[in-house]
Each structure stands twice: as C-alpha cells, then as structure tokens.
C-alpha cells in the first residue's frame, strides 16, 4: 500500500487498519523498493488539525507548523540565535527623535532661547562636546539636526463613555504646535533626553506644558484636556527606525513578485480591526510603514520598542490576493456583506499562497495537509519534493506508524525516552522545552476572581508527583511565564508547596466552608466548576484526572471535559468560554509578554484569555518592551514574574524535556560549488532545534556509514 493510499483512508479506518495489521504494514524498505518517490516525501504527524493557515490570524502550533513552510518573513534567527535575512537581505536600525522648543524654560548660562537660537546652540554643542561622558556619547550619535517650524492642525478623537452604556462622542482638537528640534541618530539612544537634560537643564522637558497649545470642541475640563494634550503633543519623542532592503527576485507561489507593497499590506492586515488578528499588540508601536521603492521598506515606531526587529519574522501575505478589491469580489461570491467581510472569512485561509520553501497543495480536514516543493524558492528548493502533515489524534497509532515507516519522526512519550533514545535504529534529539504547561483560570468568573482560591487550587495538586509518575522525570517545576533557560526567569521564586491543609485554610479565608455532605460551600452554593483540555494529549488527560481527584479530596466538585482540538481552541479558548483549562505555551527568546499578560489583550481571539488584569504588571510589560539595557530589562522581568507568581492566574506546572527520534536514513544533503554531493549528520542548534536545516534533509535508501557508527 503506497503512502498516498494510506493518506486518503478515513481516520477510523486507518486506525483499525494499523491496529489489526501492525505486523504486515509495508516496511520502510518495502515502501521505498516499490515506490522510490517515498524517499522524497517527508511525513509528520500531529494530534490536532490546523485551524487557519494565515500567519497574521492563527495562534495554534499546528497552524504555525504549516505556515512556517508556506510563508516567509523578512528575517529569522540563525543557528547561533543571531538575526539573519530571509525576504530582507539587509536592514539598518537608526532613530529619529524630536522635542518641542520650550521658550519658557531657561537654559543654563544661556537664558531663554527661541527655536532658531536653540538650533545654533545645539549645533555648537555638537562641535565642542561638553565634559559629561553620557552627554558626549549622545551628541556623537547625532547625525543631523534641524528645526521644524510651528504647525497648526486639527485632530478628531472618539471618546468612549466611562461605563458600558452610552454612545461615544467626537472631540475635535485644534492644535497650535510650537517649533521642534528634530534629531537623526546613528542608533537608538534610549538615554538621549536624560543626556540632553544636562545640556538644556533638568526641567527643560518636564516644564513643557502641552495644554497651552491645545483647545477642544466641545470644551473639556482641565484634567481631561491635559490627558489628551500629553498624548497629542509629547514633550519628547523617540522614533526608532528600521529600513529593510528586500531581496530582488523573490516570488510568491503563484509567480507574482514579492515587493515592499506586500510588506506594508501585511502590517495593515494585522492592524485592521475587522481581521481580529492576535498579533496587533506586536505592531501597535509602529507609527508608519512606508514603501520607499519596490524593494525598500521604512518602518518608523511611535516609541522605544526593543523587540521591534524580532516581530518581522511574520510571514508576508500576498497583497494582490487579499486587497480590498479582491475581498469585495469574494464577499459578493459568498453572499456576504462586502463592508463587513474580512480576511478572517476568506477562502485564502484554506488555500494559502506564500513565498516559503513549500507550496500548499491540499487540506482534508482532520486527515492531512499536503505541500509540494517550491522549485523557485529564493534559497534553492528543498531536497524533499513533498511534505505531508497527517492528523493522527491517537499517540499509540502515531508510534506504530513511525515503526512501520509511514511517519518519519516521532515525539517520544516520557515513559519511552530511555528505551528509544538508546535504540540503534534511530537517531535521537532531546532538550528542555521553550515553554511550559499550566492550568489557567477564567478570572472573569467566580470563584477564580479571588487570588486566594487560585493559590489554594495550586497548593492542592502534587506537581512533583506529576513530574515523577506522568512525565517519568522528564520535566522540571516552573513558577512563572518566562523561558526557564533565560536570565529573564526569576529563580528566587519558589514553587507552590503541595499543602492540601493550607489550601483548605486559604479557601476558608475566602469564605468557603465544608457543608454536611463534605463539599465546600459559600452562601449556600457549592464550589463547583469544569476543567477542560484537548483530546489527543495523554499527558494533559492524566493531569486532568489528577487535578480533579486532588480538588475533590478537599471538597471541590470538579467536572471535566475533553474536546477535539479545533473545538477546544475556536469555541472555548478564543471566546473565553471556560472555567479552567489545561494548556501549554511555546515561547520565544524575547521577553515580550504583552500578548499573553497585558490587560488590553483580554478580548475574544486575543491571548490573555484568562482575563488577567494588573496595573503594576501592565506598567512592567511596557517597560520591558521599551528597555534596551539588558540588565534593566532582566530586573523588570523578575518583578513581573514575582507579581504573576503571587496572583496565580495560572497554576504553573512544569517545563517538559523532549525527545524526538528519526530514522537514521534521514540526513543533511549538501552540494558543493563543484556540484559534488555529500551527506552529514543532523545536528541540533544550541537551543536544541534539530529541524533548523530541514530544507537540506533527504532520505537515503540505506543508512550511511557515519550514521551506523553513531
């Protein structure tokens, strides 16, 4: 039976076929002997299907896995974690900064200066740097300096009512902005205005009164006007700039050239509120995206934003297939209202077109997604001709298919690690995950709005036993939201103790007492809720049962539910329709946690679906985003970690250790400049990423000698 025939079998038939005939499924050798094309096919397995194949819209790992092959971003990280160009061949980072001339504030030894005199004074300082070391460094970084004359203009804002009811009102602001000094810097200088305070006086910027230059219709009270004026006319402004230079000749899979226009369109698609993109927060700091020419894009930021460069790993969308004209035509074909139709509703999300190494071919829901090699890929086509992503919810079936050779890799379950890691038939890779597993509580619902309840729920679960007996030791305790291998993680925070008696005491303080039937009650109502997770993950199922039993032991009536992956994500997580859930995050290296933890990200389809809100945490999240000094950033991260660990919106369970196995026939194929072919072992990067060179992987008919030796 060929792999293509296996792929089209219904999942239930396939499972039965494998279970009943495990010993006569064609071996790897038989498959390749009868079907040499199998050597050029890579087949992966997933417990859950993708949800939407659009990188600006998806938020699940299955979708991301396919998108990483179909779409290409401006950049990514190399094996040493340095940024490297993809669609962009190069880039420059600089800064444009400005401040308003404050004629009311005297400058030391100079008195009050108007714009023209201040410009002369600044230029003189550039020629003769003062003795202060930090100021000298900031002045050396200034490439150009100019005076922007006063401007008169109007701005309209919509003010929302303070309560949930009532209509928003329109406010028209008339602005008479004073002159500004504009600076172009060679690199981002977050200390610029602190440095310039030494030159201009410590109160020069803080004494600027923006409300004197702003009036409103209707007239606002002084406090409200000041709030708006500070936003409309900030005394100082940092505007980091990234200029990307795109590679010439890159094309989408339909042959259309990829240009700067597509980069700008991708940004606009993310920011369009109709599309409900979960990535808005990554790009909200952007002030403008300008197309300078077909291969040059200038991105200017509103404020300091240290993760800026990393966000441009986002896959670039084809403007010509998703622009307004195309969307309106599709809306009409589907019988939808063109004014409300969005990219989220487009058929593109089931038939994506990108510029990555593989081209989308077919998607059979809950069965498979197939991709084919893109021969015009800018870096050269992958060695594999076809890529299959099979949905196999049962892990035992995945395991048997791997042994039979109908799946090319297998994520080893904890109880199998010791056996399969030493199996001479396979090459194995292992490491500590960049992420964690947790129980999340919907803080919008009672009783989860009480931190004592959340802490008590965590204290009632013996997490160390989960690691010992469910993970077979293949995991470590984790206490907060940062990647444990980085210095952003606060190692001074201790895990919650396993203390059922202490948990009952906390619940008692929150008003929950045991009734005659042994259940905890408050005001005559039983402490009862439902814990949910997704199907196809045996570890989460085990945690579900353990948590339910632990909570019942102290008098909490817990129901459980296991949902198919797409239903779990789209109907429950995206809509925040749950009491408590078991999930996991795969994290990046950057410490930006805005999407998951900031209070502005608690709406449907956003990632703070537990509804965590904390003003101090919000402030720290913003500081982390705007801090370029690593030590200060680490300090902010440790404080944020401390707050989240104290509030316990999640019960942080563990970070798992992973092991993956591949057949030893899979190797890296290289071709030197003379056309000579040679092979080498697959080696992981320093983060444990063994798929980094996936485009160079190939399957050989026999195990190469170096693999036999290993």
Q: What is the pLDDT of residues 292-332, one digit of tens each?
A: 999 999 999 999 999 999 999 999 999 999 999 999 999 99
User: Is the pLDDT reported for residue 476 higher than 90?
Assistant: yes
Q: Which residue has the tokens 């403008």?
A: 288
Burial (0-12, 13-18, 19+ Cβ within 10 Å), 491: exposed
Q: What is the pLDDT of residues 394-430, one digit of tens each?
A: 888 999 999 988 999 998 888 888 888 888 889 988 8
pLDDT at 25: 40
Task: List, edge to edge, every strand of the sheet that includes 520-522.
Answer: 513-514, 520-522, 525-526
- Report the predicted TM-score, pTM, of the whole model to 2 decimal places: 0.79
Q: Which residue has the tokens 């798929």?
A: 691
Domains within the chain, CATH numbers bracketed: 3-51+61-71+350-431+660-709 (3.40.190.10), 52-60+72-86+254-297+312-349 (3.90.76.10), 93-240 (no CATH), 435-658 (3.10.105.10)
pLDDT at 425: 86
Q: Which residue has the tokens 């000298």?
A: 136
Q: What's the CA gap between 357 and 376, in Å, rounded? A: 8
Task: List, edge to edge, every strand of the sheet that includes 386-391.
Answer: 41-46, 386-391, 368-373, 358-364
Which tokens hold the place of 537? 């993950």
| Contact between 531 and 560 (Cβ < 8 Å) | yes
- The residue among 287, 364, 272 whose CA lies nearest residue 317 is 272
User: Is the pLDDT reported for residue 655 higher than 80?
Assistant: yes
pLDDT at 29: 53
Q: What's the CA gap between 490 and 633, in Å, rounded? A: 12
pLDDT at 163: 54
What average pLDDT is seen over the chain? 91
Q: 199 phi and psi, to 5 degrees? A: -80, -45
pLDDT at 587: 86
User: Is the pLDDT reported for residue 117 higher than 60?
Assistant: yes
Instruction: Provide, rounded to the nearest whole percent, the portion of the chain with pLDDT above 70.
Output: 94
Residue 79 three-state SS = coil
Confidence of residue 22 (pLDDT cuts 50, 70, 90): very low
Neighbour-count burial for 308-333, b at 16+ CB within 10 Å, e otherwise: bbbbbbbbbbbbbbbeeebbeebbee
Q: What is the pLDDT of residues 126-160, one digit of tens each?
A: 998 788 899 999 999 999 999 999 999 999 998 87
Q: What is the pLDDT of residues 152-166, one digit of tens each?
A: 999 999 887 765 566
pLDDT at 707: 53
Q: What is the pLDDT of residues 437-462, one digit of tens each?
A: 999 999 999 999 999 999 999 999 99
| Contact between 109 and 201 (Cβ < 8 Å) | no
Which tokens hold the place of 377? 């890929």
| Contact between 372 and 386 (Cβ < 8 Å) | yes
Q: What's the CA gap between 359 and 382, in Å, rounded? A: 11
Q: What's the CA gap between 374 and 386, in Å, rounded? A: 10
């Amino acid at each position: 039976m060929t792999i293509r025939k296996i792929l089209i079998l219904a999942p239930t038939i396939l499972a039965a076929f494998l279970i009943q005939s495990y010993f006569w499924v064609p071996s790897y050798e038989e498959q390749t002997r009868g079907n040499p094309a199998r050597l050029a096919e890579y087949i992966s397995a997933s417990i859950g299907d993708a949800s939407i194949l659009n990188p600006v819209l998806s938020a699940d790992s299955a979708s991301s896995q396919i998108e990483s092959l179909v779409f290409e971003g401006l950049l990514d990280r190399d094996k040493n974690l340095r940024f490297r160009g993809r669609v962009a061949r190069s880039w420059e980072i600089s800064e444009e900064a400005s401040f308003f001339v404050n004629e009311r504030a005297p400058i030391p030894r100079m008195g009050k200066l108007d714009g023209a005199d201040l410009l002369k004074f600044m230029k003189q300082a550039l020629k003769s740097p003062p003795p202060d070391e930090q100021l000298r460094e900031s002045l050396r970084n200034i490439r150009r300096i100019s005076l922007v004359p006063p401007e008169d203009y109007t701005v309209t804002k919509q003010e929302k009512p303070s309560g949930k009811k009532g209509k928003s009102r329109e406010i028209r602001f008339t602005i008479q902005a004073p002159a500004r000094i504009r600076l172009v810097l060679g690199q981002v200088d977050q200390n610029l205005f602190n440095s310039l305070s030494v030159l201009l006086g410590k109160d020069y910027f803080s004494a600027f009164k923006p409300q004197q230059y702003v009036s409103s219709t209707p007239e606002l009270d002084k406090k409200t006007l000041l709030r708006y004026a500070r936003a409309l006319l900030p005394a100082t402004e940092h505007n980091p700039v990234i200029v990307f230079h795109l590679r010439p000749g890159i094309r989408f899979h339909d042959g259309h050239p990829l240009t700067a226009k597509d980069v700008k369109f991708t940004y606009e698609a993310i920011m369009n509120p109709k599309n409900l993109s979960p990535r808005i927060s990554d790009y909200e700091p952007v002030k403008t995206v300008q197309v300078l020419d077909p291969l040059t894009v200038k991105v200017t930021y509103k404020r300091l934003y240290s993760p800026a460069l990393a966000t441009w790993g986002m896959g670039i969308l084809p403007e010509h297939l998703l622009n307004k004209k195309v969307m309106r035509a599709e809306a009409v074909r589907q019988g939808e209202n063109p004014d409300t139709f969005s990219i989220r509703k487009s058929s593109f999300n089931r038939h994506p077109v990108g510029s990555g190494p593989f081209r989308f071919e077919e998607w059979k829901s809950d069965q498979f997604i197939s991709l084919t090699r893109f021969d015009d890929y800018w870096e050269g086509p992958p060695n594999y001709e076809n890529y299959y992503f099979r949905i196999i919810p049962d892990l035992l079936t995945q395991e048997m298919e791997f042994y039979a050779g109908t799946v090319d890799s297998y994520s080893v379950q904890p109880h199998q690690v010791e056996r399969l890691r030493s199996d001479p038939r396979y090459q194995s890779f292992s490491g500590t995950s960049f992420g964690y597993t947790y129980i999340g509580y919907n803080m919008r619902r009672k009783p989860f709005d009480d931190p004592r309840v959340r802490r008590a729920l965590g204290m009632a679960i013996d997490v160390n036993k989960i690691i010992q007996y469910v993970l077979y030791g293949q995991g470590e305790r984790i206490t907060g939201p940062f990647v444990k291998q980085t210095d952003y993680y606060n190692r001074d925070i201790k895990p919650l103790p396993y203390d059922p008696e202490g948990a009952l005491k906390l619940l008692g303080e929150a008003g929950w007492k045991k009734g005659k039937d042994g259940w905890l009650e408050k005001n005559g109502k039983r402490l009862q809720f439902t814990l949910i997770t997704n199907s196809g993950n045996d570890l989460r199922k085990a945690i579900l049962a353990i948590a339910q039993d632990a909570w019942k032991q102290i008098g909490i009536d817990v129901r459980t539910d296991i949902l198919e992956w797409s239903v779990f994500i789209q109907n429950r997580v995206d809509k925040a329709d749950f009491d408590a859930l078991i999930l996991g995050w795969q994290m990046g290296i950057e410490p930006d946690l805005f999407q998951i933890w900031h209070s502005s990200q608690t709406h449907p389809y956003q990632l703070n679906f537990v509804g965590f809100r904390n003003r101090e945490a919000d402030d720290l999240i913003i500081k982390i985003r705007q801090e370029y000094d690593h030590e200060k950033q680490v300090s902010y991260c440790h404080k944020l970690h401390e707050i989240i660990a104290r509030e316990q919106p999640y019960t942080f369970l563990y970070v798992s250790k992973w092991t993956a196995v591949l057949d030893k026939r899979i190797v890296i194929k290289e071709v030197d400049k003379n056309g000579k072919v040679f092979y080498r072992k697959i080696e992981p990067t320093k983060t444990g990423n063994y798929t980094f060179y996936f485009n160079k992987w190939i399957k050989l008919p026999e195990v190469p000698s170096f693999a036999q030796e290993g």
